[in-house]
């Protein structure tokens, strides 16, 4: 043990040296960028400069693809801004733009790019989602107050999956296996709608006494993680010819490998670069983005995307734990950078690509009504389950409504998982037909739920959640570490009545207050 401790101290002192740490960080940046570029381009890892047959046609396609993506990006940014000006989610405008492009012949013929490029656009956008999700996850809060968020997250999502599976099987008349995929895609809560609303509530101290925003973020984390991992594992079982037992063992092994890899890489990013090094935030942003792209896209290309997804999420969450306290700039510059990348690049391209899958010529009113009926059944079941479970908690009816509304928007993961399912089902004619119908249902779920519940959540949340100011109510400071949704008891008199004004508070004696 003495030798191990001595070796640990020696290595720590060696790599903590300013010059050595700077050199090691630079090497890590170059290695991570190399791997991420290789995976994005789909080149051979060991020999990326191998000769390729280059023709004038291929060069034209490359230049044309870049130009098309640039035009779509500019148009998507304007569509997002216009949608936001109308008080609708920015993704709604981008999705509508994609649908218009797909269904106007002139635009459809011009805005075409290779399927591999479209897949990489979706995967990079998913990386941005996962990084923002991990950075926003309060691991310590989830660890200390896991009972109610995990209960709500698992029970409600499993209930909705069962309901949507049965509804899609009988209403949409698709196979049972594809009904499960349909449910896994349609029930995932959208971080793009719920997370910004919760951050806004936290900034305004709405529901801060009962930790409503923190609990909702934890519930969304459980919901998203369960659905995405189950989707990836099930897809690797269904769309391969390998024995089921072997596939399950391989998936279990890759999940363990992904967890360990995420912890190891997160631990490395705690130490490289040093918190007081020059350009620390730039190095952290570059390393986190490049490593997460490498893990998620690399594992996707080898058909085990679940491990990369978990590794990227754990890495981002671990980085948030350390970076939030070890630097004067804390986490603000990292989170703001990835927010900008999501808003300005990833979101427009992701939802335009999704909208371009929506062919109105194959759509009938019957399909629209049937898909909306399946979506509505799932939302109704989720709402009922949330209200039933939260009856045992210390939140009132208005706050229960906010929790239920926060779990109803659909948008982000539907934009990636639905096209992924279509690609995987393409070699199977029967499944391909069902996957196309699921794609339509996913797009309709985004069109219907994202704008409606975004508006309702922000409106109802600002009305139903009580604002608590720590300056006016010092007693709250002593109770913020308790989660009312986990049943921790605090005197109801602190929050049952209206918040007292500062003059009323000062006029009370200590005994009257407590």
**Residue given tokens 């609708």 in the structure block:** 88
Between 327 and 456, name the one with better pLDDT.
456
Which residues are CB-contacts of 230 (< 8 A; sequence separation ≥ 6)?
Answer: 184
pLDDT of residue 44: 74
Task: Please give the CATH number for the structural domain made up of 2-43+139-331+362-464.
Answer: 1.20.1530
Q: Where are the domains of the chain?
A: 2-43+139-331+362-464, 474-492+499-513
Q: With a cut of 70, say whether residue 480 has pLDDT above it.
A: no
pLDDT of residue 196: 83
- 189-244, pLDDT tens digit by residue? 988 888 888 888 988 888 888 889 889 988 998 999 899 989 988 998 888 887 88
User: How far is the CA of 268 from the CAs of 38, 100, 273, 318, in angstroms?
Assistant: 22, 46, 9, 10
Q: What is the largest CA-CA distance in the chain?
A: 85
Which residues are CB-contacts of 153 (< 8 A; sequence separation ≥ 6)?
Answer: 218, 219, 220, 221, 222, 223, 226
User: How far is the CA of 251 from the CAs of 228, 230, 244, 295, 424, in angstroms?
Assistant: 13, 11, 10, 16, 17
* Contact assessment for residue 182 and residue 438, using Cβ atoms and an 8 Å cutoff: yes
Please tell me the pTM assigned to this model.
0.85
pLDDT of residue 484: 46
Q: What band does 61 get if pLDDT is binned at 50, 70 and 90? A: low
- 269-294, pLDDT tens digit by residue? 998 888 888 888 999 999 999 999 99
Q: If you average pLDDT over residues 118-133, what whole number do you get?
A: 91
Q: What band does 247 get if pLDDT is binned at 50, 70 and 90? A: confident
pLDDT of residue 52: 59
Q: What band does 498 get if pLDDT is binned at 50, 70 and 90? A: very low
DSSP H stretches of helix in 239-364: 244-271, 280-301, 305-323, 332-341, 347-355
Neighbours of 396 (CB within 10 A): 14
pLDDT of residue 275: 85
């Amino acid at each position: 043990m003495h030798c191990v401790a001595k070796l640990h101290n020696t290595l720590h002192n060696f790599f903590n040296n300013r010059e050595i740490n700077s050199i090691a960080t630079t090497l890590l940046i170059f290695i991570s960028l190399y791997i991420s570029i290789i995976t994005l381009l789909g080149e051979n890892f060991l020999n990326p400069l191998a000769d390729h047959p280059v023709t004038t046609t291929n060069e034209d396609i490359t230049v044309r693809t870049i130009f098309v993506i640039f035009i779509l990006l500019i148009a998507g940014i304007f569509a997002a801004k216009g949608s936001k000006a109308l008080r609708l989610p920015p993704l709604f405008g981008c999705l509508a733009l994609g649908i218009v492009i797909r269904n106007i012949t002139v635009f459809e013929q011009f805005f075409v790019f290779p399927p591999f490029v479209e897949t990489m656009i979706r995967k990079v956008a998913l990386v941005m989602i996962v990084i923002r999700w991990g950075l926003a996850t309060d691991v310590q809060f989830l660890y200390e107050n896991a009972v109610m968020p995990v209960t709500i997250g698992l029970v409600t999502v499993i209930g909705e999956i069962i309901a949507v599976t049965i509804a899609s099987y009988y209403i949409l008349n698709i196979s049972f296996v594809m009904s499960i995929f349909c449910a896994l895609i349609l029930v995932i809560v959208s971080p793009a709608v719920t997370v910004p609303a919760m951050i806004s509530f936290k900034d305004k101290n709405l529901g801060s006494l009962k930790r409503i925003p923190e609990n909702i973020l934890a519930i969304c984390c459980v919901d998203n993680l369960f659905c995405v991992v189950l989707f990836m594992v099930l897809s690797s079982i269904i769309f391969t010819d390998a024995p089921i037992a072997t596939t399950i063992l391989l998936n279990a092994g890759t999940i363990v490998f992904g967890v360990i890899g995420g912890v190891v890489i997160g631990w490395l990013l705690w130490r490289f670069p040093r918190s007081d090094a020059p350009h620390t935030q730039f190095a952290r942003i570059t390393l986190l983005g490049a490593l997460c792209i490498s893990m998620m896209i690399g594992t996707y290309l080898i058909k085990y995307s679940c491990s990369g997804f978990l590794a990227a999420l754990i890495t981002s969450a671990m980085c948030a734990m350390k970076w939030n306290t070890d630097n004067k700039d804390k986490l603000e510059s990292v989170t703001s950078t990835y927010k900008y990348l999501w808003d300005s690049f990833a979101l427009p391209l992701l939802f335009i690509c999704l909208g371009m899958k929506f062919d109105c010529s194959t759509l009938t009113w019957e399909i629209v009504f049937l898909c909306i009926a399946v979506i509505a059944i799932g939302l109704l079941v989720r709402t009922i389950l949330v209200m039933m479970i939260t009856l045992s908690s210390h939140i009132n009816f208005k706050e229960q409504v906010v929790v239920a509304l926060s779990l109803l928007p659909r948008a982000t993961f539907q934009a990636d998982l639905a096209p992924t399912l279509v690609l995987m089902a393409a070699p199977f004619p029967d499944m391909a037909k069902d996957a196309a119908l699921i794609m339509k249902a996913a797009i309709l779920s985004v069109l219907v739920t994202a704008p409606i519940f975004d508006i309702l959540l922000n409106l109802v949340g600002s009305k139903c959640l009580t604002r608590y100011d720590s300056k006016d109510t010092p007693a709250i400071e002593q109770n913020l570490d308790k989660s009312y949704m986990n049943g921790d008891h605090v005197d109801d008199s602190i929050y049952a009545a209206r918040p007292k004004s500062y003059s009323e508070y000062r006029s009370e004696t200590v005994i009257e207050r407590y």
